[in-house]
Amino acid sequence: MSDEPDWARPVVHWDLQARNPEAQRAFYASLFNWEIGEGFVMAIPPGVGGPLPGPGGHIIAGEPGFAIYVQVRDLRATLARTAELGGKVAGEPFDVPDGPTIAPIADPEGNRLILVQQ
């Protein structure tokens, strides 16, 4: 064991478990323009234009679970598209103090996501 101080571990991957993976694949590919692979493990490559060196996170009070924050070019258009694709708009957009405008949604299976205005 080294005497050097340990370092914070970054988030390096995420996954989404789904009752209907093919339907979820169609929703995410259409909503976020993701090129999603096929098969048992549907790979999703990293996007471009995200924060460097990688995603950070936070802990907040609420129902247990995780949320994915996805940057979008047009927040209001993405909210409209969410409903068209079978998702649910879970709240109105709001401005984070000293931060971006964000809005919560849920995918067709109820998984929580936060849209972040680019």
Residue 109 has pLDDT above 90, yes or no: yes
pLDDT for res 70? 93
Alpha carbons 10 and 73: distance in angstroms, whole number: 25
Amino acid identity of 74?
Answer: D
Average pLDDT score over residue span 3-25 = 85
Q: What is the pLDDT of residue 1?
A: 60
Q: Is pLDDT above 90 for 91?
A: yes
- Structural domains in the chain, CATH included, are 21-117 (3.10.180.10)
- Is the separation of the CB atoms in 67 and 112 below 8 Å? yes
Percentage with pLDDT > 90 across the chain: 60
CA distance 17 to 63: 18
Average pLDDT of 18-28? 94
Which residues on adjacent β-strands are paired with residue 102? 94, 116
Task: Tell me the mean pLDDT in the region 9-35.
Answer: 89
